Amino acid sequence: MDNLTAADLFSPSKARQQRAQAQDWAQIDSWLSYKYAGRTVPTFERNDETLKALRELSLANERADEERSVYEGVEREALKTLDAHPTPTTATTPLSTLQSHLSPSGLSSLSALATTTVTLNLPSAAPETIAHALISHTRTSQSLTNQLTHIQTLQTYLEHQHTLLRTQLFELHTNPAFKTPATLPRQTLDHVRSTKLLCAKIREYEDKLASLEYAAAGRQRAGSGMLAGGAARKGVGDVEQLMEILERQTVLEAMRGKVRELEREVEEYAGLPAEREAARKEVGRLEVECDEVRRRRDGLFGELVRR
């Protein structure tokens, strides 16, 4: 009524509308106060849309309260009817009749049969069905027991292998014999350098040997037409040269053997990096691969033994 204008006061229709709206707001305020029951009603904007929504909400709430009251009344009437006409506590059923005519041993057998059927989850209590189910469960239980024993044996073996691997790993980390020497890169470079020098010397000695053999053959052909005395003196010189050639050839063979030995030593470190840390990591990786191959070998051997 506070927002009435002078024109509204002289318009009966608008005055009635404002009075009806004021009554609606009064009902809404009363309903909200009842619902919040001592709590503060939240503030909201008072306009036509809010009034319409709150009226619909209050009407729906009243209908729900009425339906609940009717439902509670029906329940009370039903309880009164049940209290007025109580049902007998001992209803006679076929099962109770059967149990009353059985002996104690028969009743125990019936209970055992029913319990067995329910436990085995069978659709029928026929003895053949129960027997087949018991045989199937026994076979399954025995199979599971065998598998469990096999798994336990395998677990014990794996635990033993795990302990051995940890022991070997600890030894690899702590034993100085498995550590890469600090001078490994320098030794590798020295071996490579010595190999190159010896290869060059071998080629040089092979060239000298070939030239000496060629000179000896030429002198032998040239001395065949000379006098016997000169031939004799020349023969002595050729013998000395041949002795020198044989000595050099012996030295050459020794150098070749040394070169081959150095090449074998270098080939052992052919796949390793030049840096010490990198070479050590590579050696560790190869040792892990070796342990993996050894484990696979032991696993295959264990499978063959079990078969």
Q: 168: burial class by Cβ within 10 Å (0-12, 13-18, 19+)?
A: middle
pLDDT (average), residues 102-106: 82
- pLDDT: is 237 or 227 the higher one? 237
Structural tokens at position 231: 């031939």
8, pLDDT greater than 70: no
Q: Between the CA of residue 39 and those of 29, 31, 34, 61, 97, what are the distances in Å?
A: 13, 13, 10, 19, 63
> Which of these, 302, 280, 298, 303, lies nearest to 164 by C-alpha position?
298
pLDDT tens for each residue of 182-219: 777 888 888 888 888 888 888 888 887 777 777 767 66
pLDDT tens for each residue of 60-102: 988 998 999 999 999 888 888 888 876 555 555 777 777 777 7
pLDDT (average), residues 244-273: 77
Give the whole-angstrom CA distance, residue 78 versus residue 70.
Answer: 12
Q: Can you spell out the DSSP letters for 239-270?
A: HHHHHHHHHHHHHHHHHHHHHHHHHHHHHHTT
Has this prediction a pTM greater than 0.85?
no
Q: Where are the domains of the chain?
A: 6-77, 166-306
**% residues pLDDT > 90 (the chain):** 12
> Which of these, 238, 216, 214, 234, lies nearest to 225 by C-alpha position?
234
Average pLDDT, the chain: 79
> Which of these, 247, 261, 259, lies nearest to 203 by C-alpha position?
259
